[in-house]
Amino acid sequence: MLLHDTSLIFGRYVRQTLRSRFQILFGILMPLLYLLFFGPLLTGLPLGSTGDSWQVLVPGLLLQLSLFGASFAGFSIIIEKSTGVVERMRVTPVSRLALLLGRVLRDTLLFTFQAVLLVLAALVMGLRAPLPGVLIGFAFVGLLTVSLASLSYALAMKVRTPQEFGPVVNSLTMPSMLLSGLMLPMTLGPVWLDVLSHFTPFRYLVDAVRDAYTGRYATAHMLYGVLVALAFALLAVTAGTRVFRRAGA
Partner 1 sequence: MPIISASGLARTFTARTGPVHAVRSVDLTVMPGEIVGLLGPNGAGKTTTLRMLTTLLAPTGGAATVAGCDLAADPAGVRGKCGYVAQSGGVDPQVTVREELVTQGRLYRLSKADAIARTAELAGQLGLGGLLDRRTAALSGGQRRRLDIAMGLTHRPAVLFLDEPTTGLDPGSREDLWALVRGLRDDFGTTVVLTTHYLDEADALADRLVVVDGGRVVAEGAPAALKTEHTGSPDASLHDTFLAITGRAPAAADTAPLAV
- Which residues of the shown chain bind partner 1 in the complex (CB under 8 A)? 1, 4-5, 8, 12, 15-16, 19, 80-85, 87-94, 160, 246-249
Measured from the CB atom, the residue of 4 and 128 that comes closer to partner 1 is 4
Q: How far apart are CA 146 and CA 124, in angstroms?
A: 28
Mutual angle of helices 162-180 and 75-82, in 10-degree steps: 170
Least Å from the CB of residue 94 to partner 1: 5
Indicate the residue type of 240.
G
Q: Is 248 exposed, middle or buried (0-12, 13-18, 19+ CB in 10 A)?
A: exposed
Taking the CA of residue 141 as centre, how many other CA atoms within 13 Å lie in the half-sphere pointing to its CB?
Answer: 34
* Nearest distance from C-beta of residue 107 to partner 1, angstroms: 17
**Contact in structure between 159 and 165 (CB atoms under 8 Å):** yes
Residue 6 or residue 214: which is nearer to partner 1 going by CB? Answer: 6
CB of 87 to partner 1, least distance (A): 6
- The least CB distance from residue 81 to partner 1, in Å, is 6
The residue among 82 and 238 lying less far from partner 1, judged by its C-beta, is 82
| Sign for the pseudo-dihedral over CA of 116, 221, 106, 34 | negative
CB of 239 to partner 1, least distance (A): 18
Residue among 107 and 211 whose Cβ is closer to partner 1: 107
In the complex, least distance from residue 164 CB atom to partner 1, rounded to whole angstroms: 12
In whole angstroms, what is the distance from residue 144 CA to residue 147 CA?
A: 5
Residue 136 CA to residue 45 CA, distance in Å, equals 25
Show the CA angle centred on residue 114, arms to residues 109 and 117, nearest 5°: 130
- Counts for the chain of helices (H) and strands (E), in that order: 11, 0
- Identify which of residues 5 and 211 has a Cβ nearer to partner 1 in the complex: 5
Residue 57 or 101 with smaller CB distance to partner 1: 101
